[in-house]
């Protein structure tokens, strides 16, 4: 299969302080593991473009977009909340991250690639229409979904989110939107303390208690949201690919391993093959233990690229 790998050096220029877990080293750790595993040789590397700023308004309020644009500092940082801050390069990095998701969607729907992975930061699934939070500024996957609906005219777009944290911003963007099914899993109760109960009937949320391991996750997913995803028959599957549910990641308390991410990816791919001509766009969300992150992304990409 042909798998595109979208990234850009601008995504490493955004940083929020030496202490911050959402750091530029995350993307370097992924690149290092791609080289070590030799999977980089089968990926089609693509420079992530910046999103057209007008597209941001498909998900985010104009006043919020203007706030981020005008509050970016010339030096140092501007705090938006206790763990989300702007540096001089955040705006450009955020435009690249969102642009990767939209460009990958265009390319996959055009048949240029079978699927794509966006190795970008900042992440996006906590970003709400009117505020940044949880390390996120623009909601990359939500923007890609809205682009697929509004520009390409798709009727059924699925979003699968398997980050340890619930994708509250994505849920808020699409609650009760019949053309979108959002499903997946997350630890609960846990930041951002949302998702249970869901905001709309089109949300197939699967909260998991702390210490859930891979065998338990597979059983729960097989009984809950995977059948619903299959029944929805999506024309495109977007993935918010967070790898912080890994047992080695201190940002959460779940106990998944690389093989569990491979299993999830394989199940999603089988559903996409039945209904969406295999079309998948996956975007990096969380994952903060650098070694576990790199290994987990390799497992995810091995399935996407079928190598």
Enumerate the active-site residues. 126
Residues 6+ apart with CB under 8 A from 8: 47, 48, 96, 100, 120
CA distance linking residue 145 with residue 156, whole number of Å = 10
Residues 6+ apart with CB under 8 A from 273: none
CA distance linking residue 23 with residue 47, whole number of Å = 20
The secondary structure of 222-281 as a DSSP string is HHTHHHHHHHH--SEEEEEE--TTBTT-TT---BB-HHHHHHHHHHHHHHHHHHSTT-EE
The sign of the dihedral angle between the CA atoms of 162, 166, 167, 172 is: positive
Which tokens sit at 38?
A: 């030799």
CA distance linking residue 116 with residue 100, whole number of Å = 10
Which tokens sit at 2?
A: 């042909």
């Amino acid at each position: 299969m042909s798998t595109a790998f979208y990234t850009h050096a601008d995504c490493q220029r955004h940083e929020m302080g030496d202490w911050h877990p959402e750091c530029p080293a995350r993307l370097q750790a992924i690149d290092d593991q791609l080289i070590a595993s030799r999977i980089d040789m089968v990926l089609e590397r693509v420079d992530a473009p910046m999103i057209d700023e007008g597209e941001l308004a498909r998900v985010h309020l104009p006043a919020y977009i203007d706030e981020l644009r005008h509050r970016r500092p010339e030096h140092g940082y501007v705090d938006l909340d206790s763990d989300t801050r702007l540096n001089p390069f955040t705006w450009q990095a955020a435009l690249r991250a969102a642009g990767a998701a939209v460009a990958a969607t265009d390319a996959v729907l055009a048949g240029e690639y079978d699927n794509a992975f966006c190795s970008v930061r900042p992440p996006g699934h906590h970003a709400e229409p009117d505020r940044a939070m949880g390390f996120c500024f623009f909601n990359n996957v939500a923007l890609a979904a809205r682009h697929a609906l509004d520009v390409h005219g798709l009727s059924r777009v699925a979003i699968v989110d398997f980050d340890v944290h619930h994708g509250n911003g994505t849920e808020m963007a699409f609650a009760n939107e019949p053309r979108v099914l959002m499903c997946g899993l997350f630890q609960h109760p846990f930041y951002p303390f949302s998702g249970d109960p869901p905001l709309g009937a089109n949300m197939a949320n699967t909260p998991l208690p702390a210490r859930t391991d891979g065998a338990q996750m597979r059983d729960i997913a097989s009984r809950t949201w995977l059948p619903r995803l299959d029944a929805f028959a999506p024309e495109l599957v977007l993935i918010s690919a967070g790898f912080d549910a890994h047992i080695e990641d201190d940002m959460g308390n779940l106990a998944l391993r690389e093989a569990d991410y491979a299993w999830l990816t394989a199940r999603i791919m089988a559903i996409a093959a039945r209904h969406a001509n295999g079309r998948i766009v996956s975007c990096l969300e969380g994952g903060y233990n650098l070694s576990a992150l790199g290994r987990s992304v390799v497992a995810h990409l091995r399935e996407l690229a079928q190598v």
